[in-house]
Amino acid sequence: MSSKKPVWIAGIARGHNGGVCLMKDGEIIFSIEEERLTRQKYDGGPYASMIKILDYTDKLDFLVVAHTQNLEQTAGKVDFSGDDVYTGLARKLGLIKRTPYDGSSHPQVIDMSNIHHKLHAACAFYRSGFDDAVALIVDGAGTFITLDIGGQPTTVWETESIYDCNYPDNFKTLYKHIGANGPLMGAWMPEFSSEMYDEPKEATHELVLSENAALLSHTKQLQNIAGLVLLKQAKLWDYFHMVSQTLKHLKSLEMTHLYLVQIEL
Ligand SMILES: [Fe+2]
């Protein structure tokens, strides 16, 4: 019998369809969406799900948080102590160290809101069975980013991304379409820095910045043409555009046989 202490990690999704996935030494122990516990479809804020972790373990090594906006800046605050509600709940439950909040982030809480689309790519890649792939992400609003545009701090967000994916955890950004609520001068930058997505300082990607954050919707016609039926309104025009972009990158990587697509609408 191994005496090695197991590593417990819980990942939570804060936003719509919030929930928890609990892992022990890399194996999924349980996963649940908040709506199953609260009986509210698409419910966010996975508090009930987090309490459910106690059915399996009373200690976490790490709490990993997925969302589109920064945890400390945008989550609600616990009264009096002032930490964000997710860190605060984990702390109160004793899942993470009960260190009082001192204004700095908890060492056991990892906020991954800066790489929202990259997390979608990881979900697609790790379940694909491929050793090497390019992933295309189409998602109405991924990571929110503040860019200096004409001297003005401007909020923009990921709408479409392409990644080169390799094991064990290499996800290189190749292309991004970033949008905003206009008016805004659009731009195309062939070599935009990828540093904000946790990539090396010298890494770059192709960037398209447009004033319209929404993916263009030509749903009906393209659904008819493609013969596809999607449950929610699909934005297939951009989808087809992105497939062509993906194929271009596949070619540049000398990979011609596959692409992965993850769409969140
Ligand atoms: Fe998303």
Q: How far is the CA of 85 from the centre of ligand 1 (A)?
A: 21
8-13 and 62-66: which strand pairing? parallel
pLDDT grade, residue 148 (50/70/90)? confident
For 19-67, the pLDDT digits (tens) are: 999 999 999 999 999 999 999 999 999 999 999 999 999 999 999 999 9
Q: How far is the CA of 5 from the centre of ligand 1 (A)?
A: 33
Is the model more confident about 177 or about 140? 177
Is-contact 178 156, C-beta < 8 A?
yes
Q: How far is the CA of 137 from the centre of ligand 1 (A)?
A: 9
Q: How far is the CA of 117 from the centre of ligand 1 (A)?
A: 6
Is-contact 207 189, C-beta < 8 A?
yes
Q: What is the DSSP-derived secondary structure letter of residue 134?
A: E
Q: How far is the CA of 112 from the centre of ligand 1 (A)?
A: 12
Q: Which residue(s) pair with 136 in the sheet?
A: 162, 261
78 to 13, 60, 61, 81, 92: CA distances (angstroms)? 18, 20, 22, 6, 10
Which residue type occupies 90?
A: A
What angle do the packed helices 236-252 and 219-226 form, to 10 degrees?
60
pLDDT at position 86 over 50: yes
Taken as a whole, the chain contains a residue count of 265
Is the model more confident about 257 or about 104? 104
Q: Which residue(s) pair with 210 in the sheet?
A: 179
Q: How far apart are CA 88 and CA 91, in angstroms?
A: 5
Q: How far is the CA of 96 from the centre of ligand 1 (A)?
A: 27
pLDDT at position 170 over 70: yes
Q: Which CATH class is domain 8-111?
A: alpha beta
Q: How far is the CA of 2 from the centre of ligand 1 (A)?
A: 38
First to last CA, the chain: 46
Is-contact 96 108, C-beta < 8 A?
yes
pLDDT grade, residue 210 (50/70/90)? confident
Q: How far is the CA of 119 from the centre of ligand 1 (A)?
A: 8
pLDDT, residue 110, reads 98
Q: How far is the CA of 116 from the centre of ligand 1 (A)?
A: 6
* Ion ligand 1: residue ranges with CB closer than 5 A: 139, 264
Every domain of the chain and the residues it spans: 8-111, 114-264
53, containing H or E segment: none
pLDDT at position 212 over 50: yes
Is the model more confident about 85 or about 127? 85
Exposure letters 201-231 (e unless 16+ CB within 10 A, then b) = eeebbbbbbbeebebeebbeebeeeeeeeee
